[in-house]
Chain A
Amino acid sequence: MAMERSQEVALIEAAAAGCRDSADRLIRAYQGSLYAYLLRLSGRPDVAEDIVQDAFVRVLANLDRFDPRFRFSTWLFTIAKRLFVNASQKFKPVYDSEIVGGWDGDAQSPSRPAIESEFRGSARDSIGRALLKLSVEQREIILLFHQQEWPIAQIAEYVGMPEGTVKSHLHRGRKRMRRFFEQELERPAEWAMNEGAVERA
């Protein structure tokens, strides 16, 4: 839901003053995009749901610290990303030979947090699997640019990288995804089936 900046600031001020309705409107304005981002980032609906809830609770509990010169979405997504990183570290490694063995070219190691593997195992749609072929940095930049439609400058601020590096990640990420789809084309039936599944979802 697009929201005017002035309207957003007014909602934040009211929510900071303890207005439940304003907090509710803020949640409804951003929960969809945050959930979609985390779902694609993690590949797991349950993880995305938990992080969305936790991120909103933290942000709303500390609204008086919000600096209105910055974007609320950047702050919210930053908190969510930290929670995602923390969550991924809590998962114990799972050595699923079928899952891990099925991935190539991604510098896998058994010590890599198993949430990655778990995410991969649960990602059944092609785009989800293509995303999970990417490094976390590439994945989040692809998502922020193509899914959240953030401008490059905002992404650079969010990930703490120069804009050129962000673009480089973007290009490499897309190239990697293309390569994945080329391989998928060799299995057209599965591709079609998975595409259909995504659309139904």
Chain B
Amino acid sequence: MLYRENGQFKTSYRADQQIFPIAQDRWVILALLAFAFLAVPVLASEYLFRAILIPFLILSLAALGLNILVGYCGQISLGTGGFMAVGAYAAYNLVVRIDGMPVVVAILLGGVFAMGVGVMFGIPSLRIKGLYLAVATLAAQFFCDWAFLRIKWLTNDSSSGSVSVSDLSLLGWRIETPVDKYLFCLGFLVLFGLIAKNLVRSHIGREWMAIRDMDVAAAVIGIRPVYAKLTAFAVSSFIVGVAGALWAFVYLGSWEPAAFNVNRSFDLLFMVIIGGLGSIMGSFFGAAFIVVLPIVLDNAPYWFGIPIDTALASHLTFMIFGALIVFFLIVEPHGLARLWSIAKEKLRLWPFPH
């Protein structure tokens, strides 16, 4: 009843090909963006920004990048933490070594460096497939872990290996308060979300999906696997690198290589799979799930007033986390995005049953 396209006639190809062809969708997205940009800064508390919204935004950006690689191109990668680290440390070195380097440029260039490293570690994907590739990408992860611990030049010769940045600013706007940081990250996310959505709808996106579904057949009809796989690694690592730089600069402020260890890679892969492979929307859902769930589980005992020993609470968090992952995979293996699209389909028919 509400979600119908009656009366919406497209009069140009451009209108027909837009991302949200149904007007209701456009309104909802615009309303959501308005809410995110205008209402949330006013309504949310500082804790909400620091602990939930900012990590959510940055991690959904990273999940977006990983989804392009894993969901759209079918190359399982467990080296995402390493690529985030490359983006973060590259941006750090640019800011520290070049006076007056604007933070945004540094972050984007950090992404470029991550892209280079990503392509390099993506070369094995031309020969290795499936689970073997997943484990091979762990080589990238551990190598990056080691490089940032050992190569002193990369951490500006800090004696402890821990680095930090401060004083972020964009064209004179100082990014200090949680609201500033939130809007900064939101800007990046919206921009990259739009870019990613358009990329996956374009011919390169179709090449990726062809490689994912049947790479031999794709090669037969003329899609070059080298080009498709390496561009997937490139775009994915770029976005992941930018997310890594944001994570370090905006969320952590001061970090050591352990901040980007293999657990981060697993977290991102969880986000992508629970959110939904091959879906831009899915990256957001997955990130929301993985960011919010541990916090809820950690704090639940306090809200219900049950004093639990911290060790037990921590173990329960792990157990419930693991159980919920298995539960979601059983119930909806295609992820939360699939649930969302089922919901939309039902809404299109509502109030009729079929």
Q: A and B: real partners?
A: no
Which residue numbers of B lie inside 8 Å of A, CB to CB? none
